[in-house]
Amino acid sequence: MNMHKDNMTNQNDINLIDDDMISDPVMEAQIAQSITDFLNNRVQHLKPEQEQRLSAARNAAVDYLAEQQAQYSTANRIAGHGNVLHWFGQHVGNNIEQHRFASTALLLVVMLVTFFAVQQFGFNNNLENSDAFLLASDLPPEAYADKGFDAWIESN
Amino acid sequence: MDRIQLGLKSALVIFFLLVTASATADESNVTWAQLTDSQRQVLNPLASEWDTLRPWQREKMLDIARDYPKMSQEKQVLVKKRLTNWSRMTPYERENARKRHQQFKALPADKKRELRKKWQEYQKLPESERAKLRAESPEAYGDSDLD
Amino acid sequence: MATPKELSDFLATVERRAFKQTAYAVRDDHAALDIVQDAMMKLAEKYGDRPPTEFPMLFQRILQNTMRDFWRRQKVRNMWTSLLSSFGGNDADSEDRDPLETIDVGDDSDEPSIQLARNQTIQLIEHALEKLPARQREAFVLRYWEEMDVAETAEIMGCSDGSVKTHCSRAVHALALELKKQGLDKLGLSNAIFDRK
C-alpha cells in the first residue's frame, strides 16, 4: 500500500492502476469519488427540456400528495358530521335510498372541498417562504426597501 | 321520492359551495377578534391597525404567524421587532424588499457580511443625505407586480 | 407524515441524478424520463404518509423496480423488433450517435480547452457506466453516487452486504480499467484521481 502511494505521487499516471490498487478499499473509494465528481458536474448540465420534464413530473407528484392529504382531512371532517347525514337520511325514509343519497353527497362534497383546498394550498405553497424569513434576516426590511441605500452602494 | 332526493342533492351542493366559498374568502378577512390566541400573540404589534389592513396584507401577515413558531428564539425576537415597520411600508417598498431579500439570500457569506457593514455605515449618514439619495434613484418596480 | 413541500424538496435534490442514473441503465433518455416520472408518482401515491427521512431509500427502491419493469417490457419489444428486422432486413437499433454532439454543455467559466477535455472525460465515463453489468452499475450508483451505506444498498438491491461490496469493487475496477483503456490519463482524469487526498 505504501509502495502504491509512492508510485502515485511520483508518476501521477492512471496507467499505474492495477488490480492490486483497486482492491485496496481506500483507492476504490477515491476512484469512485473522482468519477462521481464528474457525474455530479454532468447533472448540472441537463438539457432545458429534460429539466422541464423533471420539474413537471415532480410537480405532478407533489400536487397528487397535496390533493390526497386534503381529501384525507375532509374525510375526517365528514365522519364527524355523519350524524347529521344520518338524521337527514332517516327523514327521507328509505334506507337504500338514504345510502345512495349519502354516498353521492359525500362524493360531491369531497370533490368540492378538495378543489378548494387544493386551490388554497397551491396558493400558499407558491409563496415558498413567507415574509417571516425576510423579517428575521440579517438585514432589517428597511435595508432591502431603501433605494437610497442601493444607490449609495453603487456610488461607493 | 326521486324529486325530493334531487332537491336535497342540489340544496346540499349549493350549501357546500357557499360554505367553502365563504371559508376561502374569510381566511383573509378575519378581524382581530377572530384570530386565534397564538396568531394574536405573534401579530400583537399590529393589534391597533389590524382591522384597517387590506385583505391580502392580512393574508401575508397570517403567513408570518404561521411560520413564526418554526423559527429560533432570536429570529422570533427580530420578527416581532420589525413587524410594525414592515406593516407600515408601502406595497412598493415591501415588494422591493422581497426581491432584494431573495438576492441577498443568494449571496456568499462574505458579501452578506460586507453588506451588513455597509448598512451600518449608511445609517450613520445624515438623514438629509439619505433622503437626497432616495429622491434621486428611480422607482424599481411598476404597479403591475405588487402584493 | 411528509408535507407536499418536503416531498417537493426531496425530489428536487434527487431528480437529476435519478434521471441520469436511469438513462445509463436503460440507454434511452425518453424512457428514463418516463421511468423517473412514474417513480415520483408512485412515491407520492404509496408512501406519501411516510416521514421524509425514509424517502431516499423508498425512492431508490421504486426507481429500481420501475427500471426492472421497463426491462421486462423491453425484452418483449426487442424480441419483436428482431423478429421484424429479420423480415425487413434493416437493423433498427444502430443508434451510434456521436457523444460529443449530443451533450449539452453548460457555460462554465473554465477555459474552453479544459471544458472540452472535461466533456470528453464525462463522455467516456458515461459510456463506461453504460457498459457495466446492470447489478454492478446499480451497486456503484447507490453506494457511491447516492452515498448510501453498504447495508442500505444491500437492502435496496435485495442482496447481502458481501455481494454489494463485491459488485462495487468490480464496478470500480471495470470503470477504472475501461477509462484507462480509453487513455484517460491524457484527458485529466488521472490528475483528478491523484490530486485528491
ipTM of model:
0.74
Confidence band of A5 (pLDDT split at 50, 70, 90): very low
Report yes or no on B125 lying in a domain.
yes
Report yes or no on B28 lying in a domain.
no
pLDDT tens-place string over residues A48-84? 999 999 999 999 999 999 988 888 777 776 555 555 5
Confidence band of C91 (pLDDT split at 50, 70, 90): very low
Q: Do A152 and B133 touch (CB under 8 A)?
A: yes
Note whether C68 and C75 are within 8 A (CB).
no
pLDDT over threshold 50, residue C103: no
> Does any CB of chain A come closer than 8 Å to the CB of residue B14?
no
pLDDT tens-place string over residues C128-174? 998 888 889 999 999 999 999 999 999 888 889 999 999 999 999 88
Say which residue, A57 or B115, is predicted with more confidence. A57
> Does any CB of chain A come closer than 8 Å to the CB of residue C13?
no
Among C150, C146, C196, C188, smallest CA distance to C21 is for: C146
Residue A128 DSSP label: S
**Domain C105-195, CATH class in plain words:** mainly alpha
Report yes or no on B3 lying in a domain.
no
Report yes or no on B2 lying in a domain.
no
Q: Do B98 and A152 touch (CB under 8 A)?
A: no
Q: Which three cell numbers stand for residue A108?
A: 360531491
Number of domains in chain B: 1
Q: Do A43 and C41 touch (CB under 8 A)?
A: no
Residue C27 DSSP label: S
What does the pLDDT read at residue A89? 47
pLDDT over threshold 70, residue C99: no
pTM value is 0.46
> Does any CB of chain A come closer than 8 Å to the CB of residue B122?
yes
Residue in this structure with the C-alpha cell 410537480, named with its chain if needed:
A59
B touches C, CB cut-off 8 Å, minimum 3 pairs: no
pLDDT over threshold 60, residue C56: yes
The predicted model gives C25-46 an average pLDDT of: 91
Chain C residue closest in CA terms to A62: C4
Question: What are the phi and psi torsion angles at B8 (to 5°)?
Answer: -60, -45
What does the pLDDT read at residue A7? 40
Q: Do B104 and A139 touch (CB under 8 A)?
A: yes
Percent of chain A with pLDDT over 90: 16
The predicted model gives A101-123 an average pLDDT of: 71
Question: Which residues of chain A neighbour C48 with C-beta distances below 8 Å?
Answer: 64-65, 68-69
Report yes or no on B47 lying in a domain.
yes
Residue C89: left if φ>0, alpha if ψ -120 to 50, beta else—which one? left
Among C28, C20, C66, smallest CA distance to A45 is for: C20
What does the pLDDT read at residue A10? 36
What does the pLDDT read at residue A22? 53
Residue B21 DSSP label: H
CA distances from A7 to A99, B35, C42, C176, C191 (A): 82, 72, 50, 17, 14
Report yes or no on B7 lying in a domain.
no
Report yes or no on B106 lying in a domain.
yes
Domain positions in chain C are 4-88, 105-195
Interface test with A, best of B1, B5, B70 (most A CBs within 10 A): B5
pLDDT over threshold 60, residue C32: yes
Collapsed DSSP state (helix, strand, coil) of residue C187: helix
Residue in this structure with the C-alpha cell 350524524, named with its chain if needed:
A83
Confidence band of B47 (pLDDT split at 50, 70, 90): confident
The predicted model gives A34-55 an average pLDDT of: 92
CA distances from B66 to A129, B74, C69 (A): 10, 17, 43
> Does any CB of chain A come closer than 8 Å to the CB of residue B88?
no
What does the pLDDT read at residue C197? 37
Burial class (CB in 10 A: 0-12, 13-18, 19+), A58: buried
Note whether C1 and C53 are within 8 A (CB).
no
Report yes or no on B109 lying in a domain.
yes
What does the pLDDT read at residue C51? 92
Residues 6 or more apart whose Cβ sits within 8 Å of residue A141? A134, A135, B82, B85, B86, B89, B94, B97, B101
H helices of B1-145, where? 2-26, 37-42, 55-67, 73-88, 91-106, 109-124, 127-136
Interface test with C, best of A14, A38, A44 (most C CBs within 10 A): A14
Q: Give the count of beta carbons closer than 10 Å to the beta carbon of residue C9.
A: 15
Give the separation between CA A75 and CA A113, rounded to whole angstroms.
Answer: 10
Chains that touch C (3 or more CB pairs under 8 A): A
What is the extent of the structural domain holding B103? 35-137
Residue C108 DSSP label: -
